[in-house]
Structure 1
């Protein structure tokens, strides 16, 4: 019998919260940290220790001094990258050796007054904006004392420079030991318009796939996408008359034409997921400014976890796939192709024949040798920057356990309500949850009204 779902919510500094988790206890990490210089989330300043990291494999290390402030409001890109490297060093410890990290990051520009950075030099336009009604005085009051006055405001970037933050972080993590396996472009068809006239409107972000080792768990079948074949061309639809195509150019009209590289010629078979994901952003009425879509989190979780796991060691079960070749929907053995006019038809689907190779999941098998492994364990999903709880909500819907971490108590309360643990009705009656708060360094613990830890 499978165990109940368990979801752990931790409020506190991400470094302190990650230290509460056992080593190699998480199967997949799906997260979107605060972006650099874009938004003040109203979080309390927290201490960040001195960090040394390499900005890219082969380059000399950079040493960043200790600092106190909010992640994303660092005065330089180098300091922001250093703090993320520090966070993901702790993530490395809690992630299983066969686990994966899916990291969503967006970019920003230097000197953009549309997205005020509290350490930017004000200038004439900044002074005008500061006096205008658009300036949030309460949000930025006193922020200038977060760092020494000698710190450079943009780390040497020119005004209007694209900072390149996603790739800076990806290369720094690669130099820190992570395997950088894929750069996924999240294309947003419904992106917000931008009031710019000297560059294209940005409509994409990055999702990096990173791993602790070159071999890791990845369920490609779970995240397949619809295949695109030449059968979209009406000349190749079933029932079309046979045609002589010896002199027909292959690239004439139609998206794809049959060739020897095709192994599956049917859109129902699916294809390996591509590296551009077209996913709409989702509206959210809660008090959180940056919520990525649940559909994006679901793809990452499905690819990095299994619906079954060993209850002893947590090793995920792997999918058993059987591939069958069909002709016009009927099974066919290799070599048993029909002939037409004395010509043997091969798997390329010459003429009106419709060939396909279907992949069918016939079961699951364990990847460990633990005795009594009945697959009743559950994979664990971690989001160290939980925000509104999108990753937790996706994990619950897919039958995975989760760990949520965020510094802001209001966000944790919002996530609990969104996941159905508070408010009217529960989304998943069979799920347990716990809530705990880590007091800031040197502070007295301030428990929640229902207790520091609540379990239902």
Structure 2
């Protein structure tokens, strides 16, 4: 296998051997707990897409995204990334893809998801305090501001533009076709390879990235495209470095890291994804 599996029963000595030998690893369990098994300043860059608030059900008690309130969700994420800060090198970067959503108007039910009927949340949360029915919530920016307050440097808001976005049935606003990718750093100065990725005609990379969505056969629904991960990983790390994804899911970050001659560490709460992660790594 191209990576070691570390779970609650793995001894501290065995986990330490994995990282001292430079092996990639999947940490099975709650990210907040499993990150404690990773030595400080091990990871050069973090590329991740956390669960979005109250949009998908990952079938696990205590999952992030199923939080009762929006402030609880934001707090859950900042707690995880506080632990991420410890394992990140002093010149490390954190790239976070996070989508937004609209208020439910206090409607308690959710219409069935025809594409992913078994995964959609069966309930919707109450409209957050201070918002109105049909309001765009602004979750990504609430998260970004909370991260600033927690001590992170917010360095860029990258717009991921999806030309092939799925159509929406709404008739009173434009169809959504973008998400945010926030670039955070641990310190004022950090590793950023400006020549690693170029824009059209060799120009310096801009902060709007046109990248089409692209699923992976057999993967869970929340697969972000490899090209998105590739850009972040190339800019924020060098060959041989560790790339971390505290919400590994189907293993996209790990697969890209492997292709780029990086090592990876991924936390995943649902061990059902382990065979898929292994399959994707073997193909990369």
TM-score range, shorter chain: 0.7 to 0.9
TM-score, scaled relative to structure 1: 0.54
Summarize the Cα distance change of 1:401–1:140 in structure 2 as closer, same or farther, 3 Å threshold.
closer
Match of 1:216 in 2: 190
Q: Structure 1 residue 14 and structure 2 residue 31: aligned?
A: yes
What CA distance in whole angstroms lies between the structure 2 residues aligned with 1:304 and 1:79?
A: 30
Structure 2 residue runs of 5 or longer lacking an equivalent are 1-19
Report what 2:180 is aligned to.
Answer: 206
- Residue equivalent to 1:33: 50
CA gap of 1:137–1:103, structure 2 versus 1, over 3 A, is closer
Runs of 4+ in 1 over 4 A off after TM superposition: 133-141
Q: Quick check: 1:379–1:400 contact (8 Å CA) kept in 2?
A: yes
Q: Which residue does 1:283 correspond to in 2?
A: 215
On the 8 A contact 2:54/2:121 being kept in 1, the answer is no
Aligned 1:340-355 pairs, distance under 5 A = none
Match of 1:327 in 2: none
Candidates 232, 255, 258, aligned match of 1:300: 232
What is the aligned counterpart of 1:412 among 269, 274, 280? 274
Q: Report the alpha carbon displacement of residue 121 of structure 1 after superposing the two structures with TM.
A: 4.5
Q: TM-score, normalised by structure 2?
A: 0.86
Q: 1:19, 1:274 → 2: CA distance?
A: 36
User: Which of 217, 237, 241 in structure 2 is aligned with 1:379?
Assistant: 241
Query: How far 1:209 moved relative to its partner?
Result: 0.4
Alignment gaps of 5+ in structure 1: 47-69, 113-119, 145-151, 228-269, 308-377, 421-426, 429-456
C-alpha contact (below 8 Å) 1:5/1:396 kept by paired residues? no
> Which residue of 1 is the match for residue 154 of structure 2?
180
Q: 1:139 Cα shift?
A: 7.7
Structure 1 position 153 matched with structure 2 position 126:
yes
Please state how far the C-alpha of 1:393 moved relative to its aligned partner.
0.5
Q: How far, CA to CA, are the matches of 2:79 and 2:236 in structure 1?
A: 23
Task: Assess if the C-alpha contact under 8 Å between 1:75 and 1:154 holds in 2.
Answer: no
CA deviation after TM superposition for structure 1 residue 136, in Å: 6.3
3-state SS of the aligned residue for 1:197?
coil
Q: CA deviation at 1:284?
A: 2.1
SS of aligned partner of 1:182: strand
- Two-structure CA RMSD over aligned residues (Å): 2.7
**Cα offset, 1:135, TM superposition:** 11
1:195 equivalent in structure 2: 169
Which aligned pairs between 1:16-415 and structure 2 lie closer than 5 A? 16-42=33-59, 44-46=60-62, 70-111=63-104, 121-122=107-108, 126=109, 153-156=126-129, 157-227=131-201, 270-307=202-239, 378-415=240-277
Judge conservation of contact 2:241–2:263 (CA < 8 Å) in 1.
yes
**Distance (whole Å) between structure 2 residues aligned to residue 135 and residue 298 of structure 1:** 27
Q: Answer yes or no: is the 8 Å Cα contact 1:193–1:201 preserved in 2.
A: yes
Matched residue count:
264
Q: What's the CA shift string for 1:371-420, capped at 9, x where partnerless?
A: xxxxxxx2100000001100100000000010011100112221111111
Q: Deviations over 1:228-287 (max 9, x none)?
A: xxxxxxxxxxxxxxxxxxxxxxxxxxxxxxxxxxxxxxxxxx221000000010022214
In 2, the alpha carbon distance for the partners of 1:217 and 1:284 equals 31
Decide whether aligned partners of structure 1 residues 386 and 159 sit closer, same or farther in structure 2, where only a CA change above 3 A counts: same
Q: CA-to-partner distance for each residue in 1:46-79, whole Å, 9 max, x for gaps?
A: 3xxxxxxxxxxxxxxxxxxxxxxx2112222111
SS of the residue aligned with 1:300? helix
> In structure 2, what is the Cα distance between the partners aligned to 1:165 and 1:189?
22
CA distance in 1 between partners of 2:211 and 2:43 (Å): 26
The alignment partner of 1:386 has SS state of: coil
Write 1 or 2 for the structure with the bigger share of helix: 2
Q: Distance in 2 between matches of 1:104 and 1:140?
A: 20
Please say if residues 104 and 126 of structure 2, whose CA atoms lie closer than 8 Å, have aligned partners that are also in contact: no
